[in-house]
Structure 1
Amino acid sequence: MTILDLDDFETDFWKDVDKRATWDEIIPGELRDTRPVTLTQEVIARYAKGVGEDNPLYFDEEYAKTTIYGGIIAPPSIHILLMFACTTTEDWMRSPGTINAGQNWSYHVPIRPGDTITMRGTALDRFIRKDRMFAVHENTFTNQHGEVVCTGRGQTIRPA
């Protein structure tokens, strides 16, 4: 388990690029290597501020206690940060030149400070259409209680 520290978050998408699976090497059904990460209240607040969220539900514990959530929660879009935090720099989804061709997400249980999130990610399919290489992928995020916090399926156009 890793406590997520945004100051240590790897943003160099070229790091370890030679170790990543190419489109030809992506095997549908094969699980991606992932690691659990624990979110802190600081990470939730920094993420929310970074994406322009100003809802006190993400920052103010006293306010958050008065809501149906009973405390601070993370913005639903934090799954994007988690997708990269839960994977290594060798993950094929990090390949420079990858284009998001669409995605759908479902949110189930809010993520809270102190939650340890585990991601199960896999490629479902890969295909070529109009000379473009596509990969279809699915991700499921669960908390330390085994509750699904969000699920998503998407397609990316892969670099040649």
Structure 2
Amino acid sequence: MSERSSGDSWITDDMRAIVGRPFNKIRSYPVSISDIRKWAIAVHYPEAPPRLYWDEEYARATAFAGVVAPEDFNPFAWISAEPGMRARRVAFDADYLERGFGIAGPGLTTNLNAGLSTEYGERMRPGDVIAGHSEVVSYTEKHGRMGRMLITVIRTVWTNQNGARVKRTDQTSIRY
């Protein structure tokens, strides 16, 4: 276990050392037009989804020149090619992120979702293979009504087989 680096800070030198290091690498199976259609139907239900997501002839006549996935489409929703199916964690572990790197976390017991920011890039299309990875962007501490809080930002980036970014998400969490 690493020593605390500055007084009573929860942020250790080991935690600072994992900032920017990739983890949770994943790769999708090729996106199918059927996947896109089913996603669009589910998202727009009970209304019909826009034709751009299911009508090939219509979609060819648009600026996209073919069917594209809705921006919020998740090619990993059912199963991924790599690493494949994994057992889900059963018990809550607020230090799960740090343990994944083989270091001690701060030992806090509560983890709250503090927000999500997403930027979209290239649209996903049938045949695309999407790769993703996450990295810790930052650890900061702030004081609030509940006392000291550890704020962690994790960035996840998805790219297609050509290396074009399709999505970047920053997830902020608060632990205390």
- How does the TM-score come out when normalised to structure 1? 0.66
The offset of 1:122, in angstroms, is 0.4
Which residue of structure 1 lines up, in the alignment, with residue 104 of structure 2?
none
Which residue of structure 2 lines up, in the alignment, with residue 63 of structure 1?
58
Name the CA distance, whole Å, in 1 between partners of 2:77 and 2:168: 11
The secondary structure found in structure 1 opposite 2:26 is coil
Which letter does structure 1 place at the counterpart of 2:167? C
Which residue of structure 1 lines up, in the alignment, with residue 69 of structure 2?
74
Name the CA distance, whole Å, in 1 between partners of 2:51 and 2:150: 42
Which letter does structure 2 place at the counterpart of 1:75? P
Asked whether the 8 Å contact 1:83–1:119 carries over to 2, the reply is no
Name the CA distance, whole Å, in 2 between partners of 1:157 and 1:46: 34
- Equivalent in 23, 29, 54 of residue 32 of structure 1: 23
Alignment of 1:1-160 (within 5 A): 27-37=18-28, 38-52=30-44, 54-79=49-74, 82=76, 89=88, 92=97, 99-129=112-142, 130=144, 131-158=148-175
**Which ranges in structure 2 are unaligned for 5 or more consecutive residues?**
1-10, 90-95, 98-109
C-alpha root-mean-square deviation of aligned residues, in Å?
3.1
What's the % identity of the aligned pairs? Answer: 25
Change (3 A) 1:64 1:99: farther
The offset of 1:85, in angstroms, is 5.7
Name the CA distance, whole Å, in 2 between partners of 1:77 and 1:31: 23
Which residue of structure 2 lines up, in the alignment, with residue 4 of structure 1?
none
Name the CA distance, whole Å, in 1 between partners of 2:140 and 2:125: 37
Which letter does structure 2 place at the counterpart of 1:139? T
Which letter does structure 1 place at the counterpart of 2:127? G
* 1:37-71 deviation per Cα after TM superposition (whole angstroms, max 9, x unaligned): 03211221222222227111111111111111011
Which residue of structure 1 lines up, in the alignment, with residue 5 of structure 2?
none
The secondary structure found in structure 1 opposite 2:24 is coil
The secondary structure found in structure 1 opposite 2:134 is strand
Which residue of structure 1 lines up, in the alignment, with residue 4 of structure 2?
none
**Which ranges in structure 1 are unaligned for 5 or more consecutive residues?**
1-22
Name the CA distance, whole Å, in 1 between partners of 2:41 and 2:113: 24
Asked whether the 8 Å contact 1:141–1:150 carries over to 2, the reply is yes
Which letter does structure 1 place at the counterpart of 2:51? P
Change (3 A) 1:145 1:118: same
How many residues are aligned here? 132
Change (3 A) 1:125 1:138: same
